[in-house]
């Protein structure tokens, strides 16, 4: 009998291949047990990480279906709340791409109840902030539902809500996407113009020359080019912008193009492509270039000889990249900066098809020499683009899951950016803000990785990428800290939560660590894949789930560490 009793009271830990007793753990994709994130947590992961590129365990299609079903679940549970979540993440610029938000909004106007649909229609201009977003939305809803009155009114309202100057900017800058143009959306929605100028603008954009090139006279009195010319640089700012756009199409020399850009703030998209190799044209564009365009075109501006060491352009670019206010106002997402950093530091662009690992069978573009000041500025911009982080001054262990599954799929649909590389970049933000930090990486044991906050982002990502693959045990950071008596206030684990190999569950290992070290340590799980799992115990107030590459994630981690949330 005594033997039986020993068996009962000896607390042999439950291995990760079985669920922790008396908990709600579920089987994950790796054959281990984790908790399920609730539908709202799952929704946030999707809105931020997307499903493009799939994951190690799921194809893009499977991951998209899984997430679409979860969005539908949220819409059925509380559709208005779902719409509000979409608006919040989209508006605050927390997600690298707006596409998942637009997708969720399209589902809400299609599958939601009356209140949900109304909320979604109202949210349209808040989520679809550019013409491109609107076309993406139109394409999605077009495949799912008809163009009823509510939808027509919402899309028409998108145009009517803008002042005329903002309207013409949208019409010129974002002219088409996936076969959709403003002519299509305006003809479907058919909004009644609020004033004469708006009426003229709508006519200009929906004008379509017939085969003889004479135009649909029923629709517009004259050829819009002639019409715009006849306006002769009109007083009205919106009409003048159209006039300048039409003029630049026919410009014959650099001086004219430069003058039109300077006088009317024409964006790059307004120019015929033949001018896009001219350094004077780019210099004129650079003065008022939107941040996202600036970040994307660093290579081009270097290649054509505008952006070079000790140049005025270099000063402008560095100044703007290191201005936190400018970055945040433009909703520049850290991933956009990371992509730019990788692309610019390469010294050439890849043309043609780029595969999942970011390598291309394609040829390289003409090259450029990256300037070190711009590289440093991009490195700094990556952190500045995150929501401001107040250091906790606590003892923080940043633990990167570098197991095999973390090298599959891509983060937010970025070719070549695996969850494991993304984790390394994310960890750097906290490492750079906290005075007391250590970075470890693990598979089924701790893998040495000498990362310090002073290192360049690109080097850190490269280091992570070079590690061998292995199986997963997410308890390793706590076991390692206990074994070496390392005092940790907050463990931050970057993972897909597909843990299965360990003899003890991560949550149990944390419990054990707390008891033996006498520290009420916390655990933050940074979810790097839009799956439905987490190693964080939802019933333990000392554990928190955040979404990897949420622009607010480092701030949330710090707030949780200091007990503010």
Question: Per CB under 5 A, which region of 150-158, 236-244, 275-283, 491-499 contacts Ca ion?
Answer: 491-499
Q: Per-residue contact track with Ca ion, 420 to 459, x per CB under 5 A?
A: ----------------------------------------
Cα 120 from Cα 79, distance rounded (Å): 9
Size (the chain), residues: 565
- Look at residue 231 and give its three-state secondary structure: helix
What are the DSSP E strand ranges found in 212-320?
A: none
> For 275, which DSSP code?
G
Q: How far is the CB of 148 from Ca ion (least distance, A)?
A: 46
Cα 127 from Cα 83, distance rounded (Å): 10
Binds Ca ion by CB under 5 A, chosen from 25, 181, 392, 405: 405
Residue with tokens 């692309």: 343
According to the binding rule CB under 5 A, does residue 472 interact with Ca ion?
Answer: yes
Q: Which residues contact 493 (CB under 8 A, 6 or more apart)?
A: 399, 401, 474, 477, 506, 523, 524, 525, 526, 535
Tokens representing 133 are 């977003």
Nearer to Ca ion, 164 or 418 (CB): 418
Binds Ca ion by CB under 5 A, chosen from 85, 246, 383, 498: 498
Q: Pairing mode, if any, of strands 490-495 and 396-401?
A: parallel
Nearer to Ca ion, 34 or 472 (CB): 472
Nearer to Ca ion, 240 or 411 (CB): 411
Q: How far is the CB of 287 from Ca ion (least distance, A)?
A: 48
Pick out residues in 336-395 that bind Ca ion (CB under 5 A).
Answer: none
Cα 338 from Cα 414, distance rounded (Å): 10
Phi and psi torsions of 164, nearest 5°:
-60, -35
Q: How far is the CB of 57 from Ca ion (least distance, A)?
A: 9
- Look at residue 479 and give its three-state secondary structure: helix
Question: Per CB under 5 A, which region of 21-29, 106-114, 204-212, 403-411 contacts Ca ion?
Answer: 403-411
Nearer to Ca ion, 403 or 464 (CB): 403
Nearer to Ca ion, 132 or 405 (CB): 405
Question: Per CB under 5 A, which region of 225-233, 278-286, 484-492, 498-506 contacts Ca ion?
Answer: 498-506
Identify the CA nearest to 460 among candidates 558, 370, 545, 345: 345
CB 105 within 8 A of CB 77: no
> For 274, which DSSP code?
G
Q: How far is the CB of 470 from Ca ion (least distance, A)?
A: 8
According to the binding rule CB under 5 A, does residue 197 interact with Ca ion?
Answer: no
Nearer to Ca ion, 302 or 418 (CB): 418
Q: How far is the CB of 286 from Ca ion (least distance, A)?
A: 44
Nearer to Ca ion, 403 or 521 (CB): 403
CB 363 within 8 A of CB 294: no
Q: How far is the CB of 403 from Ca ion (least distance, A)?
A: 3
Nearer to Ca ion, 434 or 498 (CB): 498
Binding site for Ca ion (CB under 5 A): 403, 405, 472, 498
């Amino acid at each position: 009998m005594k033997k039986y009793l020993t068996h009962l009271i000896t607390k042999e830990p439950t291995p990760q291949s079985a669920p922790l007793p008396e908990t709600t753990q579920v089987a994950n994709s790796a054959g281990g047990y984790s908790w399920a994130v609730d539908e709202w947590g799952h929704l946030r992961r999707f809105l931020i990480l997307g499903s493009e590129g799939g994951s190690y365990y799921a194809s893009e299609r499977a991951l998209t279906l899984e997430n679409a079903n979860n969005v539908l679940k949220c819409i059925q549970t509380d559709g208005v709340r779902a719409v509000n979540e979409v608006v919040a993440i989209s508006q605050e610029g927390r997600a690298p791409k707006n596409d998942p938000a637009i997708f969720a909004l399209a589902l809400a106007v299609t599958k939601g109840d009356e209140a949900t649909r109304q909320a979604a229609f109202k949210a349209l201009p808040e989520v679809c902030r550019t013409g491109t977003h609107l076309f993406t939305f139109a394409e999605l809803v077009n495949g799912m539902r008809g163009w009823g009155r509510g939808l027509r009114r919402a899309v028409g309202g998108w145009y009517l809500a803008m002042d005329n100057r903002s309207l013409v900017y949208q019409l010129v800058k974002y002219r088409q996407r996936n076969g959709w143009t403003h002519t299509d959306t305006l003809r479907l929605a058919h909004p009644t113009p609020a004033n004469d100028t708006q009426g003229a603008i709508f006519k200009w954009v929906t004008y379509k020359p017939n085969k003889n090139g004479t135009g649909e006279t029923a629709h517009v009195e004259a050829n819009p080019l002639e019409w715009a010319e006849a306006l002769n640089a009109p007083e009205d700012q919106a009409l003048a912008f159209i006039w300048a756009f039409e003029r630049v199409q026919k410009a014959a020399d650099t001086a004219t193009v430069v003058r039109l850009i300077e006088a009317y703030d024409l964006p790059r998209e307004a120019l015929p492509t033949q001018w896009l190799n001219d350094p004077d044209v780019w210099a004129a564009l650079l003065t008022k270039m939107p941040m996202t365009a600036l970040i994307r075109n660093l290579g081009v501006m270097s290649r054509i000889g505008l952006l070079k060491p000790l140049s005025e352009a270099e000063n402008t670019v560095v100044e703007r990249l290191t201005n936190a206010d400018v970055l945040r106002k433009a909703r520049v997402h850290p991933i956009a900066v990371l992509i730019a950093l990788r692309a610019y530091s390469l010294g050439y662009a890849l043309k043609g098809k780029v595969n999942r690992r970011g390598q291309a069978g394609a040829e390289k573009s003409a090259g450029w020499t990256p300037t070190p000041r711009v590289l440093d500025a991009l490195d700094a911009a990556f952190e500045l683009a995150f929501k401001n982080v107040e250091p906790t001054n606590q003892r923080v262990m940043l633990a990167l899951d570098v197991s095999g599954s973390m090298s599959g799929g891509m983060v937010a649909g970025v070719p070549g950016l695996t969850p494991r590389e993304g984790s390394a970049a994310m960890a750097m933000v906290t490492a750079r803000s906290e005075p007391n930090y250590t970075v470890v990486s693990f598979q089924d044991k701790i893998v040495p990785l000498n990362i310090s906050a002073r290192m360049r982002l690109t080097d850190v990502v490269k280091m992570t990428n070079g590690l061998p693959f292995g199986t997963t045990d997410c308890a390793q950071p706590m076991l390692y800290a206990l074994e070496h008596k390392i005092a940790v206030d907050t463990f931050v684990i970057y993972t897909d939560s597909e843990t299965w190999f360990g003899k003890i569950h991560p949550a149990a290992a944390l419990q054990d660590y707390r008891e033996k070290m006498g520290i009420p340590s916390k655990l933050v799980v940074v979810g790097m894949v839009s799956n439905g799992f987490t190693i964080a115990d939802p019933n333990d107030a000392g554990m928190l789930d955040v979404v990897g590459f949420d622009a607010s994630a480092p701030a949330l981690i710090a707030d949780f560490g200091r007990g503010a949330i």
